[in-house]
């Protein structure tokens, strides 16, 4: 498993767990969901995530962009992070119906499954937007 796959698995899992906790325990757990979205968004632009250090210590390998520009993984992080932040903000700040968080759950499931399959819809969107493919380092 690559570092990018591990990040997607962790992000998707935390999104799903925090949504469940927010739904069944206390709505304040949605702030954790929003934090994951914010972290995804910033890592899309900076190529840095706090979890990368731990994944490197576990021996996971990074993937390199095959050409200049932003990688499809960065595009995926930007797209997923934006969707998560927008939906959580709409529910928590704008008091929109919590059913909107179903979109966030779909993003979480998509991120988690992509760690194993190597593909999620946001990757295709990122490629269409011009983000570059990666290869194992």
Checking if the pLDDT of 100 tops 90, the result is: yes
The pLDDT confidence band at residue 38, using thresholds 50, 70 and 90, is: very high
Taking residues 6-33, report their average pLDDT.
96
Question: Rounded mean pLDDT of the chain?
Answer: 89
How would DSSP label each residue in 85-130? HHHHHHHHTS---GGGHHHHHHHHHHHHHHHHHS--HHHHHHHHTT
Prediction pTM value: 0.89
Mean pLDDT along residues 86-97? 95
């Amino acid at each position: 498993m690559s570092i990018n796959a591990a990040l997607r698995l962790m992000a998707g899992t935390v999104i799903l767990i925090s949504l469940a906790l927010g739904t069944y325990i206390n709505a304040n757990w949605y702030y954790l969901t929003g934090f994951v979205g914010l972290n995804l968004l910033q890592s899309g632009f900076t190529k840095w995530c706090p979890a990368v250090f731990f994944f490197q210590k576990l021996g996971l390998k990074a993937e390199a962009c095959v050409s200049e520009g932003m990688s499809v993984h960065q595009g995926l992080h930007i797209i997923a992070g934006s969707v998560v932040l927008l939906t959580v903000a709409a529910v928590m700040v704008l008091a929109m119906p919590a059913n909107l968080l179903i979109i966030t759950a779909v993003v979480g499931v998509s991120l988690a499954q992509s760690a194993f399959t190597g593909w999620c819809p946001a990757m295709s969107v990122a490629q269409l937007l011009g983000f570059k493919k990666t290869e194992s380092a």
